[in-house]
Chain A
Amino acid sequence: MTEKKHAISDEKIDGIISILLRVGVAISSVTVFCGGVVYLMRHGGESPGYHIFVGEPAQFRTIPGAAKMAEAFYGRGIIQLGLLLLIATPIMRVVFTVFSFLFQKDRVYVGVTLIVLCVLLFSLAGGR
């Protein structure tokens, strides 16, 4: 592969990563905002209870749980779905980077990126 070819593909990849990050943040912000409106309309008059830590109920602790709550149109479920989309944004970036290194035939970095991806997915699975 010549130097020039390499530079062009690198630049293209940077452009795609940039768009990916922007779209991810935009979509998740809008989702969180919509969920926030629903949540405040229904619960805005109640009093907050964050002084004592009890932890979130089980349905907000997993991806399928949050998706189910969002589907049922719970404000907090929609917010949690938006937050999950936000967490997914950098992970998608890593997935995309795996493919871009594959495309560049850089085997060492396909390996490096896969290691990072494994840690991320292991964590998202709750470390089990």
Chain B
Amino acid sequence: MDILTFSTLIFSGSLIAGFLGALTGLGGGVVIVPLLTLGFGVDIRYAIGASLVSVIATSSGAAAAYVKEGFSNIRLGMFLEMATTFGAFIGAGVAALISTQVIAIIFGLVLLYSAYLSFRGHEPDPYDENDAPDFFAHSFHLDGSYPDGHAAVPYHVHHVPTGFSLMFLAGGLSGLLGIGSGAVKVLAMDQAMQVPFKVSTTTSNFMIGVTAAASAGVYLSRGYIDPGLAMPVMLGVVVGALLGSKVLTNSKPKLLRVLFAGIILILGIEMIYNGMTGRI
């Protein structure tokens, strides 16, 4: 196989990943690394570098649309980015210290967790009116409001220390695995901090690009980002995500979501298996 064929195949695979990721709302980044390592035999370090770059592209593209709608909470996002960027920087550093097998196994576990979350679907916000107002939410002005028709619906942010710690973990996984960690970010805001679902998904998306940029520098100086490989991956994911967002903007087709979650589940098992048998 020559480079032209190789690039075309990777472009096509990334396009499908970006398309399905945008359609299902699961993000395409999480399947890029398994696609490259399991499908094309690429070393996981090159795969992580290429995946991280594509994550920045899709997150920035999607955030451009979300920010304008007024759902994302910029103060909350900035506050939590202190945790995610620091976590990402540490995670990217850890990636150089542990073996590729261990990275593959951790990656597989994250895939299993993402599949579980999407099979389960979105639970109602665990909002409790009696929860005491959070000290940090108050002193850092984290509470906000989101548009609902013509009215602005106010909301409070709870359990900031728990959310902040989970965000550090999300950043660490992002830096270690070259993914957006959107699932962990939504978990932190949705479940722990009790932010409304729409606000937490859009704010999380807004944060992913900045988080990924924090580990990109480390990856670049270690030589993980290969232009020849990152080029078809990035262009494929960007075109795919653009097509996906044009096809459907509001409804998330349930069947497609379950199908994509199924693919993620299988890839997760395969990553763990390959990691354990030392084939990665």
Contact with B along A74-93 (1 / 0, CB 8 A): 01110110011011011101
* Residue A105 CB within 8 A of the other chain: no
- Is there contact, CB below 8 Å, between B214 and A119? yes
Chain B residues within 8 Å of A35, by CB: 227, 231
**Which of B43, B215, B232 meets A36, CB within 8 Å?**
B232
Give A21 to B46 CA distance when docked, in angstroms: 26
Known pairs A56-B225, A61-B220; A109 contacts B57 (CB<8 A): no
Say yes or no for A72: interface residue by CB 8 A criterion: no
Digitize A18-55: 1 where CB-to-B-CB distance is under 8 Å, 0 elsewhere.
Answer: 11011011001100110110011001111110111111
In the assembled complex, the Cα of A84 lies from the Cα of B2 at a distance in Å of: 26
Give Cα distance in the complex from A97 to B89, angstroms.
21
A109 CB to nearest chain B CB (Å): 6
Determine whether the beta carbon of A48 is less than 8 Å from that of B6: yes
**Contacts A50-B43, A51-B43, A61-B221; A24 near B235 (Cβ below 8 A):** no
The answer, yes or no, to whether A102 is at the interface (CB within 8 Å) is: no
Complex Cα–Cα for A80 and B218 (A): 15
- B205-218: CB near A (< 8 Å → 1, else 0) gives 00001101111111
Contacts A83-B227, A86-B57, A123-B217: A17 and B67 contacting too (C-beta < 8 A)?
yes
**Closest chain A residue to B64 by CB distance?**
A21
- Nearest to B56 among chain A residues (CB) is A86
How many angstroms from the CA of A80 to the CA of B188 in the assembled complex?
34
Contacts of A61 in B (CB 8 A): 220-223
B-chain residues with CB within 8 Å of residue A60 when the two chains form the complex:
223, 225-227
Across the interface, which residues of B come within 8 angstroms of A8, CB to CB?
none
Residues on the A chain within 8 Å of B17, using CB: none
Contact check, B227 vs A79: say whether CB atoms are below 8 A apart.
yes
Task: Indicate if the CB atoms of B61 and A25 lie closer than 8 Å.
Answer: yes
Whether B217 pairs with A53 at a CB distance below 8 angstroms is no
Residues in A with CB closer than 8 Å to B57 are 25, 28-29, 86
Q: Is the CB of A126 within 8 A of B67?
A: no
In the complex, are the beta carbons of B209 and A47 less than 8 A apart? no
Are A45 and B53 touching (Cβ within 8 A)? no
By the criterion CB–CB under 8 Å, are B2 and A50 in contact?
Answer: no
Contact check, A18 vs B68: say whether CB atoms are below 8 A apart: yes
**Quick one: closest A residue to B84, CB to CB?**
A116
Interface residues of B in 83-103 (CB under 8 A from A): 85-86, 88-89, 92-93
Bound Cα distance A21, B141 (Å): 25
**Chain A 111-122 interface mask (CB, 8 Å, partner B; 1/0):** 011011001101
Question: Which residues from chain A contact B41 at a C-beta distance below 8 Å?
Answer: 50-51
Given A18-B67, A48-B1, A120-B85, 13 extra CB contacts under 8 A:
A17-B67, A32-B234, A32-B235, A53-B45, A76-B228, A89-B213, A90-B56, A93-B209, A94-B210, A108-B140, A112-B79, A119-B85, A126-B218
